[in-house]
Structure 1
Amino acid sequence: MKLSIGIIFCSLVLGVSSREWFTFLKEAGQGAKDMWRAYSDMREANYIGADKYFHARGNYDAAQRGPGGAWAAKVISDGRENFQRFTDRLKFGDSGHGAADSRADQAANEWGRSGKDPNHFRPAGLPDKY
């Protein structure tokens, strides 16, 4: 209930119409699907060295949806990296994806969200399907 009151209050203060909120939420949902598709493709491809490409591609596709898609991509990307850092600490070790890899993932995420071509990270030999 508090969230809905907060959204209504923000809408009134910012002068945002319900149509704009609907558009934002629609973009966010589509962006989340884009991120899931990139993740699924990455798992399916199982291709060494393609991680950064799929990070950039998922963020790029989501951000192309609009501000809602870019927001969803950022929340999902940041959440994934933060969760990975947290679980590494619980395992009293490292998943092999240390802080440097996390920073590189985040750089690829930002690259894609900023509208730059994700193929910059595409490894040689990755099937055209992806």
Structure 2
Amino acid sequence: MRTITLVVVSMALILTKHAVVKGWWISQEKEDHQYPTETDNKVKEKVEEAIDFVKDAFGGAIDMGRAYLDMREANVKNADKYFHARGNYDAAKRGPGGALAAKVLSDFRELYQSSLSGEGPEDTAKDQEANEWGRNGGDPNKYRPKGLPDKYR
């Protein structure tokens, strides 16, 4: 069900951007079909930026989910910091929307995990360090443990 929702939302964003790029939202309001004004172009640019931000955020959330699923699948001791850094790195590469999604999801996960896992504040601090490292463009391999298969790069 989540996949279907994500596909529908993604399609809506793509179609909306297509309509904005084509200028449909402008030309339908003008009876004489004049060329777009400078204000129209600025509004169009801001709408495109907002759409790109949302698309990057969705993509960043997918990157974070992929890193989590890979971590669960790999099941390698001491690999969690690597997957924290990798998920944040991949999400942040998408742009500001991806970086925001990575921060929100990382903070939520740490809040949730710290209250349930009993790992303690030290583990949470180390996880957050890896999250920030990846989100700021640091190489996730800094946290890569020996024995982790190459398929998880």
TM-score band, normalised by the shorter chain?
Answer: 0.7 to 0.9
What does 1:42-57 correspond to in 2, within 5 Å? 42-57=71-86
The answer to whether the aligner puts 1:121 opposite 2:150 as a matched pair is no
TM-score computed with the length of structure 1 as normaliser: 0.80
2:123 counterpart (101, 109, 112): 101
The answer to whether the aligner puts 1:70 opposite 2:92 as a matched pair is no
2:113 counterpart (75, 84, 87): 84
Matched letter for residue 126 of structure 1: L
2:47 counterpart (9, 18, 37): 18
Runs of at least 5 residues in structure 2 that lack an aligned partner in the other structure: 1-42
Whole-angstrom CA distance in 2 between matches of 1:50 and 1:84: 16
State the shift of 1:98 in Å.
0.9
Name the count of aligned residue pairs. Answer: 109
State the shift of 1:125 in Å.
1.1
State the shift of 1:83 in Å.
1.4
State the shift of 1:24 in Å.
0.2
Determine the structure 2 residue equivalent to 1:9. none
2:64 counterpart (35, 40, 58): 35
State the shift of 1:96 in Å.
3.8
TM-score computed with the length of structure 2 as normaliser: 0.69
Whole-angstrom CA distance in 2 between matches of 1:126 and 1:63: 23
The answer to whether the aligner puts 1:110 opposite 2:132 as a matched pair is yes
Q: Indicate the larger mover: 16-25 or 58-67.
A: 16-25
Per-residue CA distance 1:34-84 (angstroms, 9 max, x = gap): 000000000000000100000000000000000000000000000111112
Larger radius of gyration: 2
Whole-angstrom CA distance in 2 between matches of 1:122 and 1:67: 25
Moved runs in structure 1, 4+ residues, more than 3 A?
none
Runs of at least 5 residues in structure 1 that lack an aligned partner in the other structure: 1-14, 89-94
Q: Percent identity?
A: 64
